[in-house]
Structure 1
C-alpha cells in the first residue's frame, strides 16, 4: 500500500474508550496548527471496520497538508476484539506519535457498560454478569498494559504520551499543554467545552435512532453534516424517558479490581503515571 502523496496523521489518540478521547479531539480541532480527521473515530486501522476502504479514503479524512494532522479512535486499543491494529499503524505511519488516555479501570468499565446499555439495550439484570462474555469484552479495554504491550512490539516507548482522565477533568489546561508539546505545536489557551458524549442526553434518544446512527449508512449521513447540526438533531430527538442502567454492586467492583490488578500494576510501571486516584 503506497503512501506517496497521501495525507497521513502525525499523531493518533488510540484510546481508551470512555476516557476523554472526545474532549481531546474537540480541543485539538480548535487549534489553528492542527488538522483533525473529519470523522472523530475513523477506525481505519481496524480490519473489521474501515481498513478495506483503502488509503485514499483515509487520506481524504484530512484537508491540510501544511498542518499537523491527527485522529482519535478508541477501538485501536481493543486488541482482543480487533487484532493487528498496532502493526497496521506502524507499517503505514511508522513515525506517528501516540496518545493514550486512561481512567480508573473499574470506573471506565462501568462507564462503558452504561454506554452499551443506552446504545445497544443490554439486559438490565446483572445476575451472573461477571461470568459472561460481555464482562470479558468490557474488561478488555481496561487492561491498559495489555493494550500498550501490543504497541510496544512495533513502536518505541518514546512515541507515547500517557495521560490520566482524572487530571483532564481536574486541570484540562495542564493536560492539553502536555498534548501540544508532544505533537509539536504551540500551546493554546483552552475554553470549557461543556459536556462531551453526554450519556444523560443519549439515554433519552430512542434506541433505534442510536443504532441507525452507529450503522455504516448512519455514519455516512452524519459525515455530511456539521458537528453543530448533529448535536442539535440529537438534542431534538432526546424526548423519551431516560433509560437508566443498573449500577455495579460493590462485590462486582471488587471482582473487577481482582481481575485487573496485575495489569494495572504493569501499566503503572510502563506509563510512569502515579494514578493516585485509582481504587
Structure 2
C-alpha cells in the first residue's frame, strides 16, 4: 500500500525548479552494470551526472548529514537534467530509510533499477568485495553470516521494490534487465531516456566495466587507496576513461589473486532461497527475466 504523501515531512511545500536536488536516480542493483550506465548517460548533452559516482547522499550513515547544498554541488546546474547512480540505495537491510528520504526530498524523481540474474549478481558482489579486501571469508565460511545475508538481501529485488513502492508510484520506477541491456542496448537506452524526459541519443560505444578479472590483478594497496578517503578527490581529478586505462595498465602488471569458488551445493541453496522472490518479481513487473538461472 502506498503511504499518503501528506504524512511525509517536507522541508518546503513549494519547490522551485532551481531548488530541486535531482531528476533521476539509478538505485541499483550493485554489480548489474550501473557503472556502464553512468558512463553512457554522462555522454548525453542534456544530462549532468553527479561528479562522484555513488554519492550515497540519501544514506543516513554516509552523506545525508552533509545537506542539500553539498548534494546540489555534485551537479552541473546548467544542464537540464541531474542524475546519479548509487547502488547502495537498493540495500534495504544494510541501509534502511533510503526510499523515504528520496521521496521526502525529491518526490517527483524518476528511478531506474537495473537487475541481473540474482545468483550471478550475488557471486559477482562477493568477488568484488573479496578483490577489494573487504571480505576474507570463503563462500562456505560466509554462509549464514552477515555478508551472506547482505548479498542475498541485495538480490531480493521484489523486497527492495516493495520499500520504494510504499512512497513512489509504480510509473516512476523503470526496471531494466541487465542481460537484455547488454544484448539490446539501444532499445533500453531509448526507454531510459524517455523515462527521465531526455531527448533520444545514439548508443555510444560501451567499454567493459569493473571486471573482476581486472580488479583481481590490481595491487590491493592501490585498490584501497582509490576506494578510500581519496576517492572523491581522485574521481574529480581523473576522468572515467583515464581511470579505466590506469586500471587496465595496473592489471597487466599485477599477478592474479584467485578468489574462492562457490560450492555447487551452496549455489543450489541460493537459487532455492531466491526463487520465491524472483517469482514475485515477475508478477510485480510483468517481465519474464528469461535469461536468468531461476
TM-score (norm. length: structure 1) = 0.94
Specify the alignment match of 1:57 in structure 2.
70
| 1:37 maps to 2:50 | yes
Does structure 1 conserve the Cα–Cα contact (< 8 Å) formed by 2:20 and 2:106? Answer: no
**Secondary structure in 2 matching 1:237:** helix
Aligned partner (choices 144, 147, 165) of residue 152 of structure 1:
165
1:260 corresponds in structure 2 to 274
CA deviations on 1:141-193 (whole Å, 9 max, x unpaired) are 10001111000111011111010011011111111111011111221111322
Is 1:187 matched with 2:200?
yes
1:188-203 alignment to 2 at 5 Å?
Answer: 188-203=201-216
User: Is 1:241 the counterpart of 2:260 in the alignment?
Assistant: no
1:278 and 2:289 matched: no
Indicate if the aligned counterparts of 1:7 and 1:60 stay in contact, CA closer than 8 A.
no
Cα distance in 2 for partners of 1:223, 1:241 equals 29
Unaligned runs of 5+ in 1: none
Given that residues 121 and 207 in structure 1 are in contact (C-alpha distance below 8 angstroms), is that contact kept between their aligned partners in structure 2? Answer: no
Per-residue deviation, 1:112: 0.5
Offset of residue 66 of structure 1: 4.4
Matched-pair contact (CA < 8 Å) for 2:140–2:263: no
Matches of 1:22 and 1:12, distance apart in 2 = 13
- Give the whole-Å Cα distance in 1 for the aligned partners of 2:287 and 2:231: 38
The answer to whether structure 1 residue 210 and structure 2 residue 223 are counterparts is: yes
Deviations 1:62-100 (A, max 9, x none): 113441111110000001100110000001100000100
| 8 A Cα contact 1:33 1:185, kept in partner | yes
Provide the rounded CA distance (Å) in 2 between the counterparts of 1:167 and 1:122: 30
Equivalences, count: 279
| Cα distance in 2 for residues equivalent to 1:233 and 1:140 | 33
Q: Given that residues 177 and 187 in structure 1 are in contact (C-alpha distance below 8 angstroms), is that contact kept between their aligned partners in structure 2?
A: yes
- Between the aligned partners of 2:137 and 2:96, the Cα distance in structure 1 is 30
Give 1:228 shift. 3.0
1: CA distance, partners of 2:92 / 2:139: 25
- Supply the distance in 2 between the matched residues of 1:141 and 1:126 (Cα, whole angstroms): 16
Q: Distance in 2 between matches of 1:11 and 1:222?
A: 21
Distance change >3 Å, CA 30–CA 66, structure 1 → 2: closer
Q: Give, in angstroms, the shift of residue 223 of structure 1.
A: 2.1
Provide Cα deviations, 1:193-238, integer angstroms capped at 9, x if missing partner: 2211122222111112212222223333332332233333333433
Q: Which residue of 2 aligns with 1:129?
A: 142
- For 2:245 and 2:213, the matched residues in 1 are separated by 15
The residue that corresponds to 1:115 in the other structure is 128
What secondary structure is seen at the aligned counterpart in 2 of 1:127? helix
Of 81, 98, 104, the match for 1:85: 98
